[in-house]
Amino acid sequence: MRRGRAILSATHDSLPDHVGNKLRCTSCHLDAGRRENGTWVGVFARYPQYRPRSGAVETIEYRVNDCFRRSMNGTAIDPAGHEMRDILAYFAFLSQGTTIAGPAAGSSSRLQKWAAFTADTGAGARVFAASCAKCHGVSGEGTAVAPPVWGPQSYNLGAGMTRVRTAAEFVSRNMPFDAPGTLPDSQAFNVAAYINGHPRPDFRGKENDWPNGDPPPDVAYPTKAHH
Ligand code: HEC
Ligand code: HEC
């Protein structure tokens, strides 16, 4: 369990062959996965679970590897290996006492509130310069204190964070890191759109996502099954 937690917070040092950027798992799953947004508390009891992005019932091992391949721009780890076992031991520890259930209640309805916003990336650029650049770098490249938010060392195009609503929810609840919850919703939405308007690594095969033709409206790329 402790080794799993160490892998999740020192991901590149632990698994250099499987990480293709400067992020660590806990760059987005803050407080070692105990922050409400992006929480791993209870995650062990939420899988296996049907997910529309793959159109399949996913095991928790599959879901962990989805973040390796997309959010970390890396490659899957052995689902039967000891690193996976240790990561899952930590998730099980965090999930003690939770009821076995499907997707976290209300997770998609929380994102729904962002449907009311229209992105203004010019305004987002001003928010970024005023509230984010001091830690994430003026060119989003990251600094010694915070990871990149765009460019070759960031999450790839297939990552959940490339959805503007997902990024807006994350930013609104967690950023600025030293003053979370202080950005007005419109500023969180605009800066999320600004960040996601920049180039980042591609994710090969992303057009095969949502094979049943039901992508959420803010997905950043066309999918084959959606007409
Ligand atoms: C760039 C940000 C980011 C990074 C880095 C990241 N994740 Fe995620 N992760 C997300 C987001 C966003 C979601 C929720 C996706 C959704 O359904 O919209 C998620 C979901 C998950 C889930 C499912 C949670 C649930 O309740 O269903 C697991 C498990 C997970 N991540 C594990 C990992 C692991 C392990 C790593 C490191 C190898 C990692 N993540 C790195 C953003 C990230
Ligand atoms: C005081 C420094 C600081 C400020 C200011 C700040 N961040 Fe962060 N941010 C961080 C740190 C540190 C992390 C990663 C946390 C970790 O690894 O434990 C992070 C993580 C992130 C992530 C997820 C990981 C990634 O790099 O993709 C995003 C997205 C993000 N911040 C966006 C923003 C936005 C947008 C703003 C401005 C509204 C902002 N941050 C302001 C320090 C900061």
User: 33, 60, 94: which is the final residue of a domain?
Assistant: 94
What confidence category does residue 227 fall into, taking pLDDT thresholds of 50, 70 and 90? low
Does residue 220 lie in a domain region? Answer: no
Distance CA 124, CA 118 (A): 11
Does residue 24 lie in a domain region? Answer: yes
Same domain membership, residue 116 and residue 90: no
- pLDDT tens for residues 1-41? 999 999 999 999 999 999 999 999 999 999 999 999 999 99
User: Residue 17 sits in which domain range?
Assistant: 2-94
Which residues sit opposite 56 in a β-bridge? 51
Nearest CA to ligand 1 atom 39: 25
Structure tokens at 145: 């204190």
Ligand nearest the Cα of residue 180 is 2
Does residue 125 lie in a domain region? Answer: yes
Place of tokens 């999450």: 155
Mean pLDDT rounded to a whole number for the chain? 96
Distance CA 67, CA 25 (A): 8
Ligand 2 centroid distance, CA of 49 (Å): 29
With 90 as the cut, is the pLDDT of residue 85 above it?
yes
Ligand nearest the Cα of residue 144 is 2
Same domain membership, residue 148 and residue 87: no
What confidence category does residue 108 fall into, taking pLDDT thresholds of 50, 70 and 90? confident
Ligand nearest the Cα of residue 124 is 2
Nearest CA to ligand 2 atom 4: 176
Predicted confidence at residue 105, as pLDDT, reads: 64
Ligand 2 centroid distance, CA of 47 (Å): 28
Does residue 123 lie in a domain region? Answer: yes
Evaluate: CB of 89 within 6 angstroms of ligand 1: no
Does residue 217 lie in a domain region? Answer: no
Does residue 23 lie in a domain region? Answer: yes
- Count of domains in the chain? 2
What confidence category does residue 226 fall into, taking pLDDT thresholds of 50, 70 and 90? confident
Does residue 221 lie in a domain region? Answer: no
CATH number of the domain residue 14 falls in: 1.10.760.10
